[in-house]
Structures are given as C-alpha cells and as structure tokens.
C-alpha cells in the first residue's frame, strides 16, 4: 500500500510517502526550489518521494490532500475574498495536470490532518489532541481524543478567533515578517518584562471550556491589507515598528507580554482538555505548536504526563497526517508508529560529492573510510573556535536542523553567539542558539528528564559548565537530545568533542543564512560557505577549509547561485510578509 500525502497552496508545500503505513520519505518543496516557504505544487518533492520509494506513479494506491478545498473556499468567501480568485477545484486539477495523477485523491480537513500527523506518529496508544494554528478551513484550534485508527475532534474555535493570528498580528506590529518572524518574537520575549498584560488581555479574552475570542476592533486581517488596525497602535500608545529599525524596550516588553498571554491561554486550555479526556498523554500540531517555550511550560506545569509535538508541526507536516488518514481509511489499520527521527529527505553518496568537487576544481581533505580521523579533524576545528558546516546523511523534515544540515560551534565560547548571528546567520543579535547534547548526558546539563530529539521544548540550563552560546537571557535552552542509535555519526562527533573538552554538547543551528531555506544539496552547502563566514565545511567524508577556496571563489558564487535558483528573487519568501496568507 503506497500512499502519498501532499500539502500545498497555503504556506509550506511538502510531500511524504507511506508504504504499508510506514513513513518512507518526506520533504518540503522549499528545499528543492530554494524559495522559502514555497507554497506551490510540490512537484520536486513529489518526484523525490517516488524515487526514494523506488516506485513509479502507477504504483501509488492513493494521493491524500491535507485540507478540504470546498470548506476553505466557503471561509474565504465569508471573509470577502473575490469570488473570481477562488477555485475549489484547483488542488485536484493541479494534481491531475501538474503531477499526472489519474488515481484516487482523498481529502481531509486541515486540522484533522494536523491531529493525525501528531497522534499517528507519537507512538501513544491513545492520547488527547490539541491543534493550534492561524486557520485551516474554518477551525483555528481543535480539541480531541484519539485511539487506534479513530480521531474525534469534539470541540473547536472558529475563524476569525485565532491564537495563531493573534501572534502573527503582534509579529507584524513589532516589525517582523508575518508567516516567518513569529519565532523571532518568541526569542525576543525573554529580554522584556510583561508590562502590557492588561492591553494584551483586551486583544484576546478566554471563554469557558476551550473557547476564546479576539476583540476584532484591533485587527484588520479579514479584509484589510495588514494584520492590525489603527486601534491596536492606539491601545499600546506607540506606532508600529518599521522593518529593520531599532528594537527598543517597548518592543521587548510587548513581545514578553504576548508570549505570557499565549502561554496562559494554552495552559488553561490544555487543563480543560485533560479534564474532558482524562488521558495522560497529549499530542500537539499546528504552527503554534512550534512555540517551544509554551510547549515546555505545558509539559512542566500542565496535567499531562507526556507530550508529543509533531516536529514539522506547521503546514508542511500536514502531508503526514493526510497520508496516515488515507492509509487508515483504505486498510482499517493504524499507520505510523513512534517517529524515531525526521531524517527523511535526500542524501548524497560520497562518490557524487567527490565528482562535484572535482568538477568545480575545489580542493578538499578526503576522509573516506576514516571516520575516526574525520571526527578528530572536525573536533580540532570546533575546539579552536571555528564554525563548521555539517552536511551528513538525509535531509531533515521540518524547521529544525538536527545534525543532518547543521552549523556547529563550541557552546563555551562567549563570543560565539554574536559571531554566528552577525557574520554567519546574518540575523538579529538577540536570536538564541540551541544545543545538541548526547542523550546520556542531557540530565547533567539541563532540567530535562526525558528525550527531546526534535528541539521542541525549552528548559532551564543547569550545567556546571559555562555555556554562554546556547543559554538564553532567561537561563533557558532548547536542547536536542542525540541518541547514538538514531544519529550515529552526529553522536560520535559529540562524544569525540566530549572526550577532548569535557563538554558533551555543541551549538547546533540550521545550515542556512537569513531569508533562505536550510541547505539541501552539496551545491547549496558550497554556496552558503561562499556567502558567509563559515570556517569549514564537512560534506560527508570531505572537509573544506575556507582558506582552501580558490582566490576567485567570491566571483564564482553569484553565477552558481543564479543557476541554482528557481526564478524567484533569492532570499525572498514566496508568501506575504505583511498579511497572513489566506488565499
């Protein structure tokens, strides 16, 4: 039974392939197209999933789509979108014409796909389910219980009342891009004080049960050209922050107040959900479930014993849920199983990389069949304070780099965070970096008593080591616990660094620069090396130091970049940066 799941035409297109209910391949289209948040038909990801599965189009039993086009159009019409721009048959037509698929297409509601993407891959026999995002068709938040092949979403909050849209509105007011900068607001929040709780609680009011309501006087996202109305600026007493302008104490305090109110509402609703279901475990998905600070608080202070957050919790992960629902419908069997990792994308063979380096005339240190020597060489560079691009194995699914496409550095270096933000990532100075830590050593450095393989919760740093590069201003961190059985080479690198330095963790941030997707291919990695101040690049068994690059490398990079991009302006998102994408 081969089922292909697909999410597209909203924020982050992606495909996955389930074979007999097991996840074989998954990838976001942006990693192929190099267009951040690419919402278009994921043709490249579709072709790759078939290739990875070793099958052709005729070997598919069904294609599953992650939302209901008809229900979505009804909400868009209600919100005033021009009828001539809306076409509920567009997704099916695109699948038929763009992918050549003539077989069955199964569609599922957006939030049901979110719920399925979390529950079916959690490994829990039964669980409460909470999905929270901007909006699907009509739902913005759903509550349910799941067992076996059944998911019952028994309560919901309807558009336009949305915690995701609340967060996006304040993201825009604070001068960051909608659909992209929400995590910046989360990172900015610990620098402020919750001085605007009263104002924030006027924007969103909790109601009994699972309900809440926005005061729509302060919002303009339904029919306007921006997220907020003038009344919101009047409420806070300051105009919106212009993009790229100075961040003041006021902006930090608004971010902190927003985060605090989001957390208190989510925690309240999680407690209500627990009362309704009586279940010990919780599954979460939807874009708001990527708020790792709120996740950590729900787990620490909430009533649930265990929490599973689907690591591609945003729209891209909806393809997993759609495929799983299709498998359950077609076979009557539960799909998925506990998700051990998300190394589900393309990988490259050593001989292919060797051929690429040869063709490009790039010198490299060759460590093929000498892994111990490779790891020692990488540790030499990390211990010397260098930033290393790490490219190994299959590409990760989702927004977190987890040791497949990572930038690595020494977490003990007090200057490393500023250097990474300024010269490598080229982003705001307040942005934190996450640590990757050997699973067996995590409890000795973090207030963490369970595995956290997907970097989806924060906790206190408790280490006796000074770890300034990964410790946020509030003393927290967002760790990834690395299991040698799951990521053997990455774990071996952490162990080699521990033996050398006594520190079993590294800074791990995504291998990309601001405005671009995480690198997918060796060419992407080489372009990133040329465009940043990365000191060394590890391409599987090859190491390239910056000083080994040809003198004319800076001149070659633009031409390479031009050949690799897909027609969109480099470094630009394909979705609106000022208004949440509804159409």
Task: Report the catalytic residues.
Answer: 11
418 backbone φψ class: left, alpha, beta (φ>0; ψ -120 to 50): alpha
Pairing of strands 459-460, 476-477: antiparallel
CB burial readout 252-282, b (16+ within 10 A) else e: bbbbbbbbbbbbbbbbebbebbbebbebebb
Choose among 401, 402, 385, 383: nearest CA to 503.
383
CB neighbourhood size of 373 (10 A): 12
Residue with tokens 């070793």: 54
Q: Per the structure block, which two tokens stand in for 56?
A: 């052709």
Among candidate residues 576, 514, 571, 579, the one with its CA nearest the CA of residue 173: 579
507: nearest Cα among 427, 394, 395, 389: 389
Two tokens, residue 143: 């509550």
User: 186 — phi, psi (to 5°)?
Assistant: -60, -40
Quote the CA–CA distance of 135 and 137 in Å, as a whole number: 6
Paired tokens of 293: 């600070």
Cβ atoms of 86 and 76 within 8 Å: the answer is yes
């Amino acid at each position: 039974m081969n089922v292909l799941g697909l999410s597209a035409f909203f924020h982050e297109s992606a495909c996955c392939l389930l074979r007999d209910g097991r996840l074989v391949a998954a990838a976001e289209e942006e990693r192929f197209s190099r267009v951040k948040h690419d919402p278009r038909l994921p043709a490249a990801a579709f072709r790759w999933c078939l290739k990875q599965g070793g099958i052709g189009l005729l070997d598919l039993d069904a294609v599953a789509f992650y939302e209901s086009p008809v229900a979505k159009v009804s909400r868009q019409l209600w919100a005033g979108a021009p009828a001539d721009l809306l076409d509920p048959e567009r997704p099916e037509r695109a699948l038929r014409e763009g992918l050549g698929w003539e077989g069955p297409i199964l569609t599922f509601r957006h939030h049901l796909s979110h719920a399925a993407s979390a529950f079916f891959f959690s490994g829990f026999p039964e669980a409460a389910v909470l999905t929270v995002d901007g909006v699907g068709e009509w739902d913005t938040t759903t509550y349910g219980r799941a067992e076996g092949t059944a998911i019952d979403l028994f309560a919901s909050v309807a558009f336009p009342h949305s915690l995701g849209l609340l967060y996006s509105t304040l993201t825009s007011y604070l001068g960051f891009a909608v659909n992209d900068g929400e995590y910046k607001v989360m990172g900015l929040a610990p620098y402020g004080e919750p001085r605007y709780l009263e104002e924030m609680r006027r924007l969103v009011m909790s109601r009994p049960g699972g309900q809440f309501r926005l005061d729509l006087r302060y919002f303009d996202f339904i029919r306007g050209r921006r997220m907020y109305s003038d009344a919101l600026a009047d409420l806070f007493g300051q105009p919106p922050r212009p993009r790229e302008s100075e961040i003041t104490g006021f902006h930090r305090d608004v971010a902190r107040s927003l985060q605090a109110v989001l957390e208190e509402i989510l925690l309240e609703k999680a407690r209500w959900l627990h009362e309704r279901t009586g279940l010990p475990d919780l599954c979460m998905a939807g874009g708001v479930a990527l708020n790792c600070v709120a996740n950590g608080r729900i787990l620490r202070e909430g009533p649930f014993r265990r929490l599973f957050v689907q690591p591609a919790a945003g729209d891209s992960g909806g393809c997993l849920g759609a495929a799983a629902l299709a498998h359950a419908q077609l076979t009557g069997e539960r799909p998925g199983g506990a998700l051990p990792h998300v190394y589900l994308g393309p990988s490259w063979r050593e001989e292919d990389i060797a051929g690429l380096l040869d063709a490009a005339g790039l010198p490299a240190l060759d460590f093929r069949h000498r892994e111990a020597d490779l790891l020692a060489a990488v540790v030499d560079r990390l211990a010397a304070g260098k930033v290393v691009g790490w490219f190994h194995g299959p590409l990760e699914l989702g927004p977190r780099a987890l040791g497949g496409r990572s930038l690595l550095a020494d977490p003990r270096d007090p200057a490393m965070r500023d250097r990474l933000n300024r010269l490598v990532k080229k982003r705001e100075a307040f942005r934190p970096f996450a640590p990757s830590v050997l699973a067996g050593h995590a409890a000795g450095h973090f207030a963490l008593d369970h595995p956290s393989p997907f970097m989806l919760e924060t906790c206190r740093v408790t280490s006796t080591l000074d770890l300034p590069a990964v410790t946020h201003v509030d003393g927290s961190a967002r760790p990834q616990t690395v299991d040698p059985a799951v990521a053997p080479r990455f774990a071996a690198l952490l162990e080699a660094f521990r033996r050398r330095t006594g520190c079993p963790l590294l800074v791990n941030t995504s291998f990309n620069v601001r405005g671009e997707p995480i690198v997918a291919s060796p060419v992407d990695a080489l372009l990133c090396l040329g465009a940043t101040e990365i000191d060394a690049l590890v391409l599987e068994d090859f190491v390239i130091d910056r000083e080994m690059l040809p003198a004319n490398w800076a001149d070659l990079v633009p031409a390479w970049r031009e050949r690799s991009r897909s027609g969109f302006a480099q470094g630009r998102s394909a979705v609106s940066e000022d208004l949440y994408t509804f159409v």
